Structure 1
Amino acid sequence: MKKVFLVDFDGTVTKVDTVDLMVNKFAKDGWQYYEELWEKGEMSTEECAVETLKLMEMNEKKLLDLLYTIEIDDYFLEFLNFCKVKNYEVVIVSDGYDFNIKAIMDKYGFNVEFYSNKLWFDKGEIKVDFPYKSKDCNKCGMCKLEVLNRYKNEEYYVVYIGDGYSDICVVKYADEVFAKGVLEKYCKENDIPYISFRNFGDIIEKLKR
């Protein structure tokens, strides 16, 4: 059976959430209100993003300078090599932005297929788009469940790796789950089988066994 790892990006591949960092660095006060509504599920990612971006004072250079300071998990590149040797597919699924993912991939010299929301700059303005949102649900900007279903339909064994709120919908349907942070708490409280991890080194060790 073919195996695919669907991997969350912010806080999972990266040591910090790139969107949170962006907001903390560049948004004027007031973003906390939208963040709270989003965490409660009372505001979609798209609505939260659009309102928060209105409060941001940044340009392309400022954002890139910030993103190039971000570190990835110490064992992520080793994990990619391990999967390559085993012929496992790795796909990043992110409710963050392609701009951030591309900058980190550029910094660390790796290239992985990914699905995410889009962010770009146009004549000094920040623009966003949500090409992978669900038609049936508006909770997330990028529907990870639809990506999972696509692989399931092609009879893949799907392993999910994540840490946050945007990973919650998808873990009930994965064949295997590695969780930390908010996601681990959710799995524990809802009796969803999962394997706890701190970093990708833990995941490599579990896969070798």
Structure 2
Amino acid sequence: MKNFLFISDFDGTLTDEDFYYIIMKKFLGDKGREIYRDWTNGKMTVFEFLKTIFGSTNESEEEIIKAVMDIKFDTYAKDLIKSIEEANGEFMILSAGCSYYIHKLLEHLDIKNIKVITNNGVYEDGKINMTADKNSPFYSETYGVDKALVAEHYKSMYPKLYYAGDSEPDFRASRKADIVFARGHLQKMLRDSGDDFVAVENFNEVGLYLNQMGVIKYESRK
């Protein structure tokens, strides 16, 4: 049995910014801003918004892959993942984005054997076609993947659960964890709800905290 499970969100947690924002900046212009306004005005769910953004490009796959390579992945994350594995822990990515860009980037970074739970995504006809698995026990109409259901399911399978996230889709899931590492808006949400969390800006800070707790062996990286 593994000693613990570390679940991390992808966009905005393992990365500096959400991939949808890169797509909007590079390819969509005013159209992207209009879609974004519709979402923030409550006219579509998170899943509908992302599906629409990813489905609004008209680019070659080469150009889409170049956009994926623009994703700034946390420079400390690979070392943390290695330390987690060496401590007989497991690292999982849990995302309301889609598999296409996550797997492309992980492959590029040579990060292997990581379990990823997310929505499906394939390149076709100039765009990323994002779909949800409605037969999944973790299906959510709002997000495609209900992160809280995933966290609840896996919590019963490991002695300890650690969670890292940055935004609203992570809120309910993070409350299932023994320790939450929060970035961005998730910090305010957990503070407002009275839940404990560890505020972090990168995975070096996560590694140092878990090292201090005796969970893993990790040294500060510059």
- Same fold per superposition (TM over 0.5): yes
Alignment of 1:1-209 (within 5 A): 2-39=3-40, 43-111=44-112, 112-124=114-126, 126-131=128-133, 134-135=138-139, 137-209=140-212
SS of residue matched to 2:30? coil
Q: Which runs of 5+ in 1 are unaligned?
A: none
Using the TM superposition, give the Cα deviation of residue 124 of structure 1 relative to its aligned residue in structure 2, in angstroms. 4.1
Instruction: Work out whether residues 133 and 142 of structure 1, in 8 Å CA contact, stay in contact via their aligned partners in 2.
Output: no
Distance in 1 (CA, whole Å) between partners of 2:115 and 2:138 is: 20
The answer (yes or no) to whether the contact 1:10–1:94 under 8 Å persists in 2 is yes
Aligned partners of 1:96 and 1:144: how far apart in 2? 12
8 Å contact from structure 2 (residues 55, 130) kept in 1: no
Shift of 1:133: 7.8
> Secondary structure of the equivalent of 2:129?
strand
**How many Å separate the matches in 1 of 2:200 and 2:42?**
26
Deviates more, 1:190-199 or 1:26-35: 26-35
CA deviation profile, 1:6-48 (whole Å, cap 9, x unmatched): 1001121122222221122222424334434545665322222
Provide the aligned C-alpha RMSD in A.
2.2
TM-score by length of 1: 0.88
- Structure 1 residues 63-72 or 33-42, which shifts more? 33-42
Point out where structure 2 has 5 or more consecutive residues left out of the alignment.
213-222
Q: Distance in 2 between matches of 1:81 and 1:69?
A: 24
> What letter matches 1:160 in structure 2?
Y
Q: Distance in 1 between matches of 2:131 and 2:186?
A: 26
Structure 2: how far apart are the matches of 1:41 and 1:160? 28
CA distance in 2: counterparts of 1:206 and 1:183, whole angstroms: 19
SS in 2 for 1:27: helix
Q: Tell me the percent identity.
A: 23
